Amino acid sequence: MPHPTEPNRQLPRGDEIFLDHVGHFVPDRHAAARGLVRAGFAPTPVSVQVDSDGASTGAGNICAMLTRGYIELLFKTAETPLAAELDAAIARYGGVHLVAFAVADAGKAHRRLGDASFPMRPLVELERPVEIASGRRKTAAFTVARVERGAMSEGRIQLLTHHSEDAVWQKRWLAHPNGARGLASVVIVVKDVDEAAKRFARFTGRRATATKAGRTIQLDRGRVELVTRSAFRAALPEVDIPSMPFIGAYGVVVQSLETVELMHDKVRLHTRRIGDVLMGLYPPPLEHGSWLFAENSESTPFR
């Protein structure tokens, strides 16, 4: 179930901000896609990203599209500055390095971040071709607001505006064998919770509230959980912390925990119940981290 106060739609309006997607940076797209399938997700075909001039960004993706948000596998396709950042991130650790928040107006958000003293890169218009059910091609278009490298040390933390909802969230890609329905949260292990919370509050325009594990930033849809190393280890001891900061887990709302548990047990993926949350380790191609499956978007092992 979604949070009772969350909008029941895919894209934000006005000044709303949603947790839109998380991105695994992967060296082997084929193995990573098989990992998603093994965990019960139905991935999309490969798509290569280009800018508004048709030049390659150096990256491509495979996604698991959800009724609310999506999961992305991002991989290198060419030698570009952006692809070099992908290589550097993978060298630090294999796993999730991207957290994207959706806003209605990326240009306005770009100005807000600049006013909040973030060093900004220019706005960028991105496109990727997608095939629709009829076999015809459409273009998925996005405007992305990015800070300079290092301004958000946790990874590629960005804001974006979607311009082609129907092309991106096609109905045929929204059904998954594991019953996944939506992205609920992202969990980031940080050295200095107070500093990270202040910075993420400025970035999202939402306040951080204290929890026993660290700080939580509730968005208009989804949330960011900033936790201490000790709190993360206590809740998820199976997950190695390869480097700090570390985007160590994210929450996925599912129809039935029992379905996910049986499916993962059948393919020998490690799971464990933590109250009303089912922790599920990523299969090896997706490297370090864990899914936090729950039937309710408010469920978390960190409260």
C-alpha distances in angstroms, 54 versus 5, 58, 72, 80, 146? Answer: 40, 12, 21, 14, 20
Dig out the tokens for 107 from the structure.
């240009």
Amino acid at 78: A
Among 53-67, 68-82, 214-228, 288-302, the minimum mean pLDDT is found in: 53-67
Mind listing the pLDDT tens digit for each residue in 174-203?
A: 999 999 999 999 999 999 999 999 999 999
pLDDT at 49: 78
Mind listing the pLDDT tens digit for each residue in 226-275?
A: 999 999 999 999 999 999 999 999 999 999 999 999 999 999 999 999 99
Mind listing the pLDDT tens digit for each residue in 48-76?
A: 877 767 778 888 899 999 999 999 999 99
Determine the straight-line distance between the first and last CA of the chain, rounded to whole angstroms.
Answer: 18
- Type and span of the H or E element at 252: strand 246-254
pLDDT at 7: 84
pLDDT at 271: 98
Amino acid at 93: Y
Could you give the residue range(s) of every CATH 3.10.180.10 domain in the chain? 17-173, 180-294
Residue located via tokens 């009724």:
67
Would you place residue 129 in the very low, low, confident or very high pLDDT band (cuts 50, 70, 90)?
Answer: confident
Would you place residue 140 in the very low, low, confident or very high pLDDT band (cuts 50, 70, 90)?
Answer: confident
Mind listing the pLDDT tens digit for each residue in 107-118?
A: 999 999 999 999
Q: Kindly state which CATH superfamily the domain 180-294 is placed in.
A: 2,3-Dihydroxybiphenyl 1,2-Dioxygenase, domain 1 (3.10.180.10)
pLDDT at 130: 79
Q: Which residues pair with 55 in a beta bridge?
A: none
pLDDT at 38 over 70: yes
Dig out the tokens for 256 from the structure.
């039935």
Greater model confidence, 2 or 238: 238
Greater model confidence, 20 or 52: 20
For the domain made up of 17-173, the CATH class stated in words is alpha beta
pLDDT at 2 over 60: no
DSSP string, 29-84: HHHHHHHHHHTT--PPPPEEEEETTS-EEEEEEEEEE-SBSEEEEEEE-S--HHHH
Name the residue among 106, 102, 86, 105 with its Cα closest to residue 94. 86
Residue located via tokens 């039935």:
256
Would you place residue 128 in the very low, low, confident or very high pLDDT band (cuts 50, 70, 90)?
Answer: confident
Greater model confidence, 139 or 161: 161
DSSP string, 124-179: EEEEEEEE-TTS-EEEEEEEEEEBPTTSSTTSEEEEEEES-HHHHS-GGGS--TT-
